[in-house]
Amino acid sequence: MTTLTLVQGDITGQSVDAIVNAANSSLLGGSGVDGAIHRRGGPAILAECRRLRATRYGRGLPTGQAVATTAGDLDARWVIHTVGPVHSATEDRSGLLASCYRESLRVADELGARTVAFPAISTGVYRWPPDDAARIAITAVRDARTSVEEVRFVLLDARVHAAFAALTG
């Protein structure tokens, strides 16, 4: 059974097997969690992302999918990049958000990762409401068939942390 842990803080400081990056489809870095992971992880992450773009994801990583790279200078073995959906008031995109968590755990299983740190995917510039994002994330992780022993939700924002805490007891 997978243990869920909540931490309020910076995901780039976590000592885990894999850190999940809320990436943009280009895989070339961006703002928020994506930018922080690339800055702190150093150039090795970007170099591997560039190789992935050149060989497999020339048009970008599709929303809801996940792929792994080195973690560079982070205290982790891998970074699992996943592209969250932009929230829409007119279209139900919750399946894509859930897929980010499921696909990231699938990649973690393939790598043999036992501990995985997730951010609150899509709650930043993609404007997903924290309460709904927390419900989707926690349900997807609890329903996943995975050998990952610990999923750590690392949440920088106090409001997002409170939304996750309300659903995990």
Catalytic residue check, 34: yes
User: How far is 21 from 91, CA to CA, in rounded Å?
Assistant: 24
SS3 132: helix
In Å, what is the CA distance from 109 to each residue of 105, 128, 132, 149, 158?
6, 27, 26, 10, 30
Q: Which two tokens stand for residue 56?
A: 């497999």
User: How far is 96 from 65, CA to CA, in rounded Å?
Assistant: 9
Q: Which two tokens stand for residue 95?
A: 């399946």
Contacts 24+ apart (CB under 8 A), 129-132: 129/87, 130/157, 130/159, 130/160, 130/162, 130/163, 130/164, 131/163, 131/166, 132/94
Catalytic residue among 17, 34, 132, 143: 34
* Active-site residue set: 34
